Amino acid sequence: MVFNCRQCGTCCMYMGDYIEIEHQISEFEFECSSVSTGTPFLARVDADKREIFRDKTWSEEHSTPCRFLRPDGNLIRCTIHETSPPQCKYYRCVVMRVYDPAGTLLGMVTGNLSLHSDNLELRQCWQEAERKISHLDADAEVRFCRMLESKGYRVE
Ligand code: SF4
Ligand code: SF4
């Protein structure tokens, strides 16, 4: 399923301790490390985000977000998208939204294929599918989706 990041910034709001700036090389270049994986990376502010990166007002007012996060109109954007670590680039907060036939949203599935729902019936249906589908299967996402649709749920 195609994931469209809405650039809301929510997933980066508590990443300040996880993306560490170790050394500033120039105005827009930094030696960094991704704390969770211990991986060093060179961060370069994207050419089209340098203006918003320069304005540190929001960043100074908020202590928890990643240091590369900046507001941009209605969006909150990563200013180093081109050089950000792979786990950032490929992060998908929601890969499926699950609705009942009437169109009521019942739950959401995150990129690691975890269901978040208060609906007992849907949760049981998901657990039943988890007994048959391994999260590691290359086609797991498609199979979970098909299984939900076969039970009458609408998936987007
Ligand atoms: S991955 Fe999700 S939470 Fe993170 S910025 Fe995109 S839409 Fe927002
Ligand atoms: S590098 Fe970008 S995507 Fe990763 S946590 Fe920081 S702002 Fe978010």
Q: What is the pLDDT of residues 35-90, one digit of tens each?
A: 888 899 999 999 999 999 999 999 999 999 999 999 999 999 999 999 999 989 88
State whether 18 and 44 are in the same domain.
Answer: yes
Ligand 2 atom nearest 77 alpha carbon: 7
First to last CA, the chain: 8
Phi, psi dihedrals of residue 119, rounded to the nearest 5°: -85, 115
How many domains does the chain fold into?
Answer: 2
Phi-psi region of 110 (alpha: psi -120 to 50; beta: other; left: phi over 0): beta
Closest protein CA for atom 2 of ligand 1: 93
**At which of 73, 89, 105 does a domain end?**
89
Rounded to the nearest 5 degrees, what angle is found at the Cα of 116, between the Cα atoms of 115 and 122?
70
CB 16 within 8 A of CB 61: no
The CA 148 to ligand 1 mean position distance, Å, reads: 24
Long-range pairs for 114-121 at CB < 8 Å and ≥24 separation? Answer: none
**What's residue 127's pLDDT?**
95
User: Which ligand gives the minimal distance to the CA of 19?
Assistant: 2
Ligand nearest the Cα of residue 66 is 2
**31-35, 62-66, 136-140: least confident range:** 136-140
Q: Are the C-beta atoms of 73 and 109 separated by less than 8 Å?
A: no
- Asked, for residue 1, whether it belongs to a domain, the answer is no
What integer is the mean pLDDT of 137-145?
93
For residue 106, give its domain range: 96-155
Query: Does 113 lie in the same domain as 66?
Result: no
Q: Are residues 15 and 77 in the same domain?
A: yes
- What is the pTM (predicted TM-score) of this model? 0.81
Q: How confident is the model at residue 1 (pLDDT cuts 50, 70, 90)?
A: low
- Is the distance from CB of 79 to CB of 47 less than 8 angstroms? no
Structural domain ending residue among the three candidates 58, 89, 120: 89
* Gap from CA of 94 to ligand 2 centroid (Å): 17
- Closest residue CA from atom 2 of ligand 2: 78
Same domain assignment for residues 145 and 75: no
Confidence of residue 136 (pLDDT cuts 50, 70, 90): confident
In terms of domains, do 22 and 46 share one?
yes
Mean pLDDT of 108-128: 94
One domain for residues 52 and 102: no
Buried b (16+ CB within 10 A) or exposed e, 7-17: eebebbeebbe
Residues 65, 15 share a domain? yes
